């Protein structure tokens, strides 16, 4: 296990993702913890992780953690669903400071929310193939009935900003028809891009289906951890720094749609 010196409240929070989508997690963290310094790493040179082997995803994730450790982070949020599903357990065993993912937080809330135990999970092909959400939901509620559907076209729709037009609705109707036949009452957004499509997903599923945003639930768990361990930083406003592994132009242009605020202080870095 790789350890670090005693953790202090004034240290920053590290957040990493394979690209842009993790900015929806960062947004929720900033909204809930405005006094915290945060460092975001987007591994844009190697996105998407979903097409990689588990061994490669684990290696990339470890390299991301090692980069963020250079800033003396007090905890790390794995904002990538693929990394959370495949690499998180190994990261938690290897490093001796808190590392949280987006899978468990969302799954816990979905189980608490569902009245019937019929839960739908939307995600990328890699996340759904891993079975991570379904496994954790069934650990919490063995009687749950989980329907998991990959929705790969939601990612380019979100990045293009096509989130409320006819194209987005047609794609959502095609993907989500399997949920309607299973009578789910709770749908878990298992990809960080999907909150941008929350409106059209809700429209297609209907108001009786509760949507669970893993980004929101992860931010709440981070706050609970900081408050419970005395690591919360009491300041009016924190500093944000952004790092990417490829040209930052698209990240800045598209990322502001995900982050819903200006992105500044961005640098290109190499993880090798």
Active site residue 80: yes
Strand, coil or helix: what is 185? coil
CB neighbours of residue 139 within 10 Å: 12
- Taking the alpha carbons of 224, 57, 24, 69 in that order, is the dihedral positive or negative? positive
Report whether 27 contacts 260 (CB < 8 A). yes
Strand, coil or helix: what is 22? coil
- Taking the alpha carbons of 15, 56, 252, 200 in that order, is the dihedral positive or negative? negative
Which of 81, 82, 99, 103 is closest to 91 using CA atoms? Answer: 99
Separation of alpha carbons 16 and 20, rounded Å: 10
Report whether 101 contacts 84 (CB < 8 A). yes
Separation of alpha carbons 39 and 257, rounded Å: 18
Residues 47, 65, 80, 189: which is the catalytic one?
Answer: 80
Residues 25, 26, 191, 205: which is the catalytic one?
Answer: 191
Listed in order, strand segments (DSSP E) in the chain are: 13-17, 38-42, 75-78, 99-101, 118-123, 145-150, 186-189, 210-213, 240-244, 266-268
Which residues belong to the active site? 80, 191
């Amino acid at each position: 296990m790789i350890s670090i010196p005693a953790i202090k409240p004034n240290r920053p929070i590290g957040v990493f993702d394979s690209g842009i989508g993790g900015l929806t997690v960062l947004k929720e963290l900033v909204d809930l913890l405005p006094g915290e310094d945060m460092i975001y790493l987007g591994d844009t040179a190697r996105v998407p992780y979903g097409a990689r082997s588990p061994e490669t995803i684990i290696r990339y994730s470890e390299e991301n953690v090692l980069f963020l450790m250079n800033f003396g982070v007090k905890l790390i949020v794995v904002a990538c669903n693929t990394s959370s599903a495949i690499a998180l357990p190994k990261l938690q065993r290897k490093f001796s400071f808190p590392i949280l993912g987006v899978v468990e937080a969302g799954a816990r809330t979905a189980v608490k929310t569902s009245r019937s135990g019929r839960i739908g999970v939307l995600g990328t092909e890699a996340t759904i193939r891993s079975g991570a959400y379904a496994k954790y939901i069934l650990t919490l509620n063995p009687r749950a009935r989980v329907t998991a559907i990959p929705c790969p076209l939601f990612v380019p729709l979100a990045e293009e900003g096509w989130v409320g037009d006819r194209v987005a609705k047609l794609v959502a109707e095609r993907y989500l028809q399997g949920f309607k036949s299973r009578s789910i009452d709770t749908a878990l957004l298992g990809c960080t891009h999907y909150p941008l499509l929350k409106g059209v997903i809700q429209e297609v599923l209907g108001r009786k289906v509760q949507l669970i945003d893993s980004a929101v639930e992860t931010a709440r768990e981070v706050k609970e951890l900081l408050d419970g361990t005395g690591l919360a930083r009491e300041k009016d406003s924190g500093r944000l720094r952004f790092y990417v592994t490829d040209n930052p132009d698209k990240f800045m242009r598209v990322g502001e749609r995900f982050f819903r605020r200006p992105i500044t202080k961005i640098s290109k870095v190499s993880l090798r």
